[in-house]
Structure 1
Amino acid sequence: MKLNYMQCWNGAMAILRDHKEAIIALAGVFVFLPTLLMAQFVGQPALDGTEDFNGITAAYSAFFGENAVSIILSNLLISFGGFVIFFTIAPSHSGTVAEDLGKALRLFLIFLLANILTGLATFAGFLLLVIPGLYVACRLILVPMIIADHGERNPLEALKKSWDRTKDNGFSILLLILIIAIVGAITVGVIQMIIGLITGLATGGAGWPLIENLVSSLGGSALQVLFTVVIGSIYYQLTGQESDVGEIFC
């Protein structure tokens, strides 16, 4: 089955519409809040104009060493929140948000192991140049949906099923993800720039870090939610569930 971009986008918007209350609540608690707290209280590595690779590496190593616990906890919360959303939008979903949280918690270790395996496979692809790495990542993009929809407890089997479901669609998925990522990044960047200019003018150049971090965190959270529902829509389409999806997406 070939991926249809228009159907995929319309499906993603319908998923977002039909599950907006649960998605907003989950993204707000597990994605937006940790991102905002990290931006406000941890910040970014102090590069101080460093341009050489060794200097940048040293700055990031020092930053991680000083903030390892915060970084790990934040990323675990964000990953967990995204994982719960996959349960909420899965075709087999039939419970409440509380039940989705319980299911996600029971399978979270499997999800993390599958992510590690996906990362290793993607890294192996990157060793062959950038495009093969991106291609592998796109062939394995359905792993979290497969775990959520089928309760898959074998990480390798989840990777295998994703690879099978995305057959002949790797580059189509790659192009779609790149388009969304580029347009989304430009949109968020422009909004951040405008907010930065406004706060800079209003404060004589000092800016309002909290307002700027709020906007940045909202933009990043919105992009993550968008990618999640797009992956959900790809899953619906490539697993041949158009009839069920049509009822949901009406």
Structure 2
Amino acid sequence: MKFDMGRAWNETTAMIGANKELLAVIAGIFIFLPNLALALLVPEMMAGPAEVDPENPMAALQAFYAENGLWFFLLAIIQSVGTLSLLALLHDRRPTVGEAIKTGLVTLIPYIAAQIILVIGLSIVLGIPVGVAAGLGGPAAGVIVGLLAFVVLVYVMVKVSLVSPEMVIGANLNPITALRNSWRLTKGNSLRLFAFYLLLGIGVVVVAIVISMISGLFVAMLGQNTAGLLVGGALSGLIAAIWSVLIVGVLAAVYKQLAGPTPEAVGETFE
């Protein structure tokens, strides 16, 4: 089946519109509120590290993430549950919020396992050649092989982009099978999917930059006090929530188009 961008976008907006209240609840709980809390717990996120050594600018960044790594880890886990729960809401069987959250919790461990398998595989397949090239051929060879590895990385990420809907909508909790099925479903449509994701990403980034600039102005005017952090954190959480709902809707629409209708959708057709 050839992927149809227009159809995918129309189905995305239709699904989000039909489920906007329930999606807003889960996005608010798992995306918006955690980002707001993180802005209050880690105020440096709004203003950046206080002191930066011009001779070693990465040192401050490394220290920042080392000091606050636990908070970012917890945020990633909470948002993963939220994303999987949002996907569950877009299943044709139309679950309740409670059922969707339960699905998100049940799917979390297999989903993390799939990500770990993917990272390990990519590290071996791409990381080792780059390291060998840099070691034997010098920096120039490392850069060239690194660029080729980046192209392969983008290709692989497109191919495995349907792992989460395969697990949630396809009810397949086997990490390896989910990765394999995502690869199979995207066969023959990789370039179309890449173009679709790229156009979507550009649009979201432009909007996010505008909102981030507005957020920065508010924080600058209000200062590093509670009011400034609340405004900055609220806008940051809003961006993250909107992005999460949008990307989940896109992945669900793409998956349903390439995988075909679920039994629930077929059943509705003949009711």
TM-score range, shorter chain: 0.7 to 0.9
**Alpha carbons of structure 1 residues 197 and 150: separation in structure 2 relative to 1, 3 Å:** closer
Deviations 1:7-63 (A, max 9, x none): 1111100110111122111110001111121123213352745567x641x333322
What TM-score, normalized by structure 2, do the two folds share?
0.79
1:17 aligns with 17
Alpha-carbon distance in structure 1 between the residues aligned to 2:155 and 2:53? 32
Match of 1:239 in 2: 259
Q: What is the CA deviation profile of residues 206-240 of structure 1, one whole-angstrom value per residue up to 9, with x for unaligned ones?
A: 99332122112211221121111101110111112
Counterpart for residue 64 of structure 2: 63
Q: Select 2:243's aligned residue among 217, 220, 223.
A: 223
**Structure ID, larger Rg:** 2
**TM-fit CA distance, 1:154:** 1.2
Post-superposition Cα deviations, 1:142-199, rounded to whole Å, max 9, x if no partner, equal 1111111232221000000100011011121111111111111111211332454466
The 5 Å alignment of 1:1-250 reads: 1-42=1-42, 43-44=44-45, 46=49, 48-49=51-52, 55-56=57-58, 58-91=59-92, 93-122=93-122, 124=125, 128-197=148-217, 200=220, 208-241=228-261, 244=265
**In the aligned structure 2, how far is the partner of 1:35 from the partner of 1:122?**
29
Structure 2 stretches of 5 or more lacking a match?
131-147
Matched residue pairs, number?
A: 243
Measure, in 1, the Cα distance between the counterparts of 2:167 and 2:161: 12
Whole-Å separation in 2 of the counterparts to 1:25 and 1:221: 10
TM-score normalized with structure 1 length: 0.85
RMSD across aligned C-alpha pairs, in angstroms? 2.9
Q: Residues 32, 125 of structure 1: CA spacing in aligned structure 2 closer, same or farther, 3 A cutoff? A: farther
CA contact (8 A) 1:135 1:170 kept: yes
Unaligned runs of 5+ in 1: none
Q: How big is the shift at 1:129?
A: 2.5
Distance 1:218 1:204 in 2: 20
Q: Percentage identity across aligned positions?
A: 28
> Which of 10-19 and 128-137 deviates more?
128-137
